[in-house]
Amino acid sequence: MTVGTSNSSAARAQGISIGIKIFGIATSLLGLLILVVYVFTDRLRQVNEEVTALAEYVIPITDRVAAVDVHALEQELHFERVQKLYEIEPLNTERIAQELIAFESRGELVDAEIAAAIVLSQTALKESGQSRHQAEWEYIEPLLEEIEIEHQQLHDHAVDLFALLEAGDLTAARQLEDQLIAEETDFNEAINTIFLELEAFTVSSAQAGQQHQQTVQSLSLTVAAVATVFGLIYAILVTRGLVRPVRSLARGIAAVQAGNLDTEFDTSSRDEVGRLAQAFNGMVNELRLKARLEETFGKYIDPRIVHNLLEEETAQPVGDRQVMTVFFADVDGLEMVLATLDPDAQIRCINDYLTVMSAAISSHTGVIDKFIGTLIMGFWGPPFTAADTHANLACQAALAQMQVMETVRQQITAIAPTADVTNLQLHIGLSTGALVVGNMGSETTKSYTVMGDTVNTASRLKGASKQYGVPILLSQATQQQIAPTMATRELDLIQVVGKAEPVRIYELLGPLDTLAETEQAAVAAFEQGLAAYRQRDWVTARQHFEACLASKPGDRPALLYLDRLTTLAANPPADDWDGVWQLTQK
């Protein structure tokens, strides 16, 4: 934009010039002209005050507060890293020390920005005198002092928590962590309050400036009505030169309020409007940085969940009960491989692994609920998928993960060539059933997740898949939904840890139309062996399981049953044995 000179002395010079140019006007109009020039000058002076307040105080303070917000977020990241490092054995003291130094460095930056903002607010209060802004500055300064105190409390309690972690007092550390979360929320709310006050201040000043300029424009038109054509042209030129940059500023502020952070102002002017444009551009740059940080954190939650939350008419946590399919996946042996790597290699390996494995879930419209170390939890169901497709989609995702395991091994080898990836085995548990889904958590921190016995069952099936030597285990409810399209094999009737009712479990073999004849023969023999086993006909059962091994050499479930038959033949079960096998491990 092009901005013109807007100080009061220039306005007075313009008034005198107009008076000279219209000197020939009748004496009866001179009084009106003088009045118009006086009001014109006064309005321009008020515009100059509004622009000066914005350029020299409001926007610089906003920049400082935005910097406080950014540095506080960075300090929080270093705090969380220190916490995570204390959870990893053995302790990496060098890395912890580095993060503590970075934590303190960001804290000092926060303190410096707050102190600078307070000095600016004090100067603004002193300079405001009896103007209309005095009350606003008197309100803003205590808010800045409040966030200075709250940040110091956050810093002190964070240092105390580090000391508790160093001493191994985890109980006290968790209690202090809860307090820190509450204090962090208060700190963020205080910063948001200041942002809102400064935003209101900016809008108010811009609107006041615009009102003053509208008055100037009206007076200019009045002068034009009683003055000569030359006076009219001159008044229009002056008015336009003053109104254009301020209106442009008002439009820019409105655009930023609407979320358009691509707004830029021409800073070629050397007056107050030019300085205001520079300060405004700096503020927008800070807001862009904050938006990028928010976009980064947005990767931690499924975009569909974010959309649904934004579309809700109420922020109250309303739960819903839906039949859904829950998915647990983990790679056995991966944590042992990671333990042999340095922290940087660990992070790269785990990120590459989670990226590849998560893609299998996301590409089949699943929702990734959380990562726990190397474990991935996801779920399918309304409103994200149709009620009759979620089990099938979950099984497709499980098979897709099986297909990318070789990619995972190659990625780990590329990062850590000496790592032994030959024994990495994927284990997945799938369970379908009624779940409560919705926003769950504390008043300050919530997560969109699912809850119910189906979640526990899926987790137990993931663990049971290791004992049965198969990659993917399904519950009966899942198997019933996918039976028309997927080949499965019933493995057992088990009682998992923590559940009173037995669970019928199935191995997922793949799409029906891709099952080889040898695999079909092995499944048929296994089913006959399982039926004989449940009838306590150990001899016949052994024959069928051996036939299964003949069709599918090395079949782990068949080998497991042969060992079990040997045990049962030597130690027959009680007469009321119902074929349910008790699992003792999760």
pTM over 0.85: no
| Residue 21: per-residue pLDDT | 43
Is residue 285 within 8 Å of 65, Cβ to Cβ?
Answer: no
CA 447 to chain centre: 11
| Total domains in the fold of the chain | 3
d(CA 243, CA 273): 11
Q: Where does a domain end: 484, 514, 544? A: 514
pLDDT grade, residue 529 (50/70/90)? Answer: very high
pLDDT at 375 over 90: yes
- Average pLDDT value over all residues in the chain: 80
**pLDDT tens per residue across span 3-60:** 344 444 443 333 344 345 445 555 655 666 676 666 667 666 666 666 676 677 778 8
| Residue 2: per-residue pLDDT | 38
Question: Do both 472 and 503 map to the same domain?
Answer: yes
- Of 2-6, 88-92, 190-194, 365-369, least confident by mean pLDDT is 2-6
- Rounded to an integer, the average pLDDT of 123-149 is 74
| Residue 408: per-residue pLDDT | 94
Question: Do both 340 and 293 map to the same domain?
Answer: no
Question: Do both 466 and 479 map to the same domain?
Answer: yes
Q: Are strands 425-441 and 320-332 parallel, antiparallel or unpaired?
A: antiparallel
pLDDT at 412 over 80: yes
d(CA 241, CA 248): 12
Domain that holds residue 432: 317-514
Is 3 domain-assigned?
A: no
Question: Do both 396 and 535 map to the same domain?
Answer: no
| Residue 403: per-residue pLDDT | 95
Question: Do both 131 and 190 map to the same domain?
Answer: yes
Is the dihedral angle over the CA atoms 468, 470, 471, 475 positive or is it negative?
negative
Neighbours of 448 (CB within 10 A): 19
Q: Quick one: tokens of 314?
A: 């109420």
Question: Do both 457 and 548 map to the same domain?
Answer: no
Question: Do both 62 and 125 map to the same domain?
Answer: yes
* CATH number of the domain encompassing residue 391: 3.30.70.1230
554 membership: H or E segment, kind and range: none
d(CA 51, CA 209): 8
Q: Tell me the HSE value of 208 on the side-chain side, using a 13 A CA sphere.
A: 20
pLDDT grade, residue 433 (50/70/90)? Answer: very high
d(CA 116, CA 224): 48
Is 303 domain-assigned?
A: no
Is 334 domain-assigned?
A: yes
pLDDT at 510 over 60: yes
Question: Do both 474 and 538 map to the same domain?
Answer: no
Is residue 198 within 8 Å of 62, Cβ to Cβ?
Answer: yes
Question: Do both 541 and 504 map to the same domain?
Answer: no
Cis amide prior to 90 (ω within 30 degrees):
yes
Question: Do both 523 and 499 map to the same domain?
Answer: no
Question: Do both 330 and 365 map to the same domain?
Answer: yes
**pLDDT tens per residue across span 225-274:** 666 665 567 667 656 655 666 677 777 777 777 767 777 766 666 656 66
Instruction: Quote helix, strand, coil % in the chain, to nearest 5.
Output: 65, 10, 20
d(CA 6, CA 481): 74
| Residue 426: per-residue pLDDT | 96
pLDDT at 431 over 70: yes
Is 455 domain-assigned?
A: yes
| Residue 172: per-residue pLDDT | 80
Is 114 domain-assigned?
A: yes
d(CA 325, CA 437): 12
pLDDT grade, residue 65 (50/70/90)? Answer: confident
Is 48 domain-assigned?
A: yes
pLDDT at 302 over 70: no
Question: Do both 502 and 521 map to the same domain?
Answer: no
Is 56 domain-assigned?
A: yes
**pLDDT tens per residue across span 181-212:** 887 887 888 788 877 777 777 777 777 666 76
Is 304 domain-assigned?
A: no
Residue 7 vs residues 47, 89, 272, 436: alpha-carbon distances, Å: 8, 66, 8, 65
Is residue 37 within 8 Å of 77, Cβ to Cβ?
Answer: no
- Rounded to an integer, the average pLDDT of 464-475 is 96
d(CA 484, CA 519): 18
